[in-house]
Chains A and B, each alone.
Chain A
Amino acid sequence: MSAASVELSDEAKADLAELYREDRELVREAFRQMQALEQQPYAGEKLREKSNRKPLAEADCRKLKFHLPDRASSAEPRYRYRILYRLEPHEGASDRVYVIAVCPKKDAYGPGAARAAKRLRELAARRFTERRL
């Protein structure tokens, strides 16, 4: 079993402070999840980025879904919060778990979908330009 140190970015700390105002127990659960990451840094799912030409900032990112343990199994979504983190120096040698954000589930509809579509178009345009250069 691999062990890693967990460190939080200033932004992730700010996310937690905001969550703390909403629900202290939720933040405690986030801390428990991060403590578990020390022993199981691969517990989160890899983000689905199709490109293998990722900039460093996007590489090796994972998300760990969580909610209060007593949340009803029928609740939708089952896991409303995410710990977004990156394994460093890279996947396969995870000495450090760097927590980038702790945030609610991103909406897949409405503005979220529109922003995602815009970003996909931007990515496609960037890759097209890169190939031409």
Chain B
Amino acid sequence: MKKPGKSLRSNAIEIHPRGEERKALLVPEVDIEEAERQIAELQETIEDIELMRLVEERVVTGKESGTPLAEVIREFGEDDLLEDGPTA
């Protein structure tokens, strides 16, 4: 099977222990991979919504002034990074 189904259950095969209601599902790997891909996509989207909230909290005008990177690096006492980096 190369193409994923519409859902995890589309191509799944149910396995019942004899005489019992409970069951297990055999799901093709391609469907698991598609489900994992979709979950990862949703997680990224949710994370980005959270990050947008942070942006809204911190950025008001869009013309905020900041501290140059080199200055911040010096403030943290990590001057050696400036010797090699493009910030030097």
Contact = CB atoms under 8 A, between A and B. Distances in A.
Do A and B interact? yes
Interface residues of A, number: 49
Interface string B41-52: 011111111111
A2 interface: no
Contacts of A56: 61-62
B52 A38 contact: no
Interface in B23-44: 42-44
Contact of A35 (B53, B55, B61, B69): B69
B interface: dominant SS: helix
A48 B56 contact: no
A43 to B, nearest CB: 13
Contact of B72 (A8, A57, A105, A116): A8
A35 B87 contact: yes
B48 A28 contact: no
B62 A48 contact: no
B69 to A, nearest CB: 4
A5 B68 contact: yes
Interface size class of B (residues with CB under 8 A): 35 or more
B12 interface: no
Contacts of B46: 106, 108, 112-113, 116
A63 B87 contact: no
A100 B49 contact: no
Given A112-B50, A116-B50, A13 B85 contact: no
Nearest to A54: B52
A43 B34 CA distance: 27
Contact of A32 (B52, B76, B85): B85
A99 B81 contact: no
6 contacts: A7-B66, A13-B67, A35-B86, A38-B69, A99-B66, A108-B46
Interface of B: 42-56, 58-62, 64-69, 72-73, 75-76, 78, 81, 85-87
